[in-house]
């Protein structure tokens, strides 16, 4: 039998018994394997996908590169009420030190079908977590958690504050809250990679 087959793939199994050759053809319909070359997927979710979730994605991306994991982990973000195509809020970009790259972010509306293929979905608030859980199919590989759950100093169930209507100081506070959760999130990602997901 082949070592690795995927859902929907046609394959066959051949066995020689004396002068008799038995060939069995089949199509795999369940038990699709995960290729070792497939990246571990992390998706951040907030409301508008212009502040918290892209900030988190930027910070995690930098931390993954520094840890030598940038090639094995894919990071994305979306918003439950995002206006598709909107750029990152200039204040968010400023506290991250992003200048020319700001235009590369385009807000995406959260799509349950896309999220279901992620390994880890990290929500900025309890409302986002509830909306994501409600929209995801029962059969999925994604684990859904709050960003604050990775910060041992954060209160249980705490939201990462939305800085959208605030001044630059609010954005700096949000950046600090996200950064405080990064070590725990990195540890969770490492554990997922070590376990083969």
How far lies 3's CA from each of 6, 12, 101, 153, 157, in Å?
Answer: 10, 11, 43, 46, 43
User: Residue 156 corresponds to which tokens in the numbers above?
Assistant: 């249980």
Helix residue ranges per DSSP H, 2-79: 52-66
Element (H, E) at 14: strand 10-17
Can 46 be counted among the known catalytic residues?
yes
Annotated active-site residue in 109, 140, 162, 190 = 162
Can 162 be counted among the known catalytic residues?
yes
Evaluate whether 97 touches 31 at the Cβ level (below 8 Å): no
Annotated active-site residue in 41, 51, 52, 151 = 52
- Annotate 9-24 with b (16+ C-beta within 10 A) or e (fewer): eeeeeeeeeeeeeeee
Active site members: 46, 52, 162
């Amino acid at each position: 039998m082949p070592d690795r087959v995927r859902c929907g793939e046609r394959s066959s199994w051949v066995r020689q018994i004396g002068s008799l050759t038995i060939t069995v053809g089949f199509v795999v319909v369940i038990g699709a394997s995960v290729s070792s070359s497939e990246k571990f997927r992390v998706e951040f979710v907030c409301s508008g996908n212009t502040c918290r979730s892209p900030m988190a994605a930027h910070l995690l991306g930098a931390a993954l590169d520094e840890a030598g994991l940038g090639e094995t982990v894919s990071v994305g973000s979306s918003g439950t009420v995002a206006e598709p195509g909107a750029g990152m809020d200039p204040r968010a970009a400023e506290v991250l030190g992003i200048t020319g790259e700001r235009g590369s972010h385009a807000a995406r509306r959260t799509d349950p079908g896309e999220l279901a293929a992620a390994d880890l979905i990290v929500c900025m608030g309890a409302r986002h977590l509830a909306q994501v859980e409600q929209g995801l199919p029962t059969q999925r590989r994604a684990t859904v958690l709050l960003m604050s759950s990775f910060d041992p100093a954060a209160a249980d169930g705490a939201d990462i504050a939305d800085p959208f209507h605030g001044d630059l100081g609010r954005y700096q506070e949000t950046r600090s809250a996200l950064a405080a959760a990064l070590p725990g999130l990195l540890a969770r990602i490492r554990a997922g990679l070590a376990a083969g997901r």
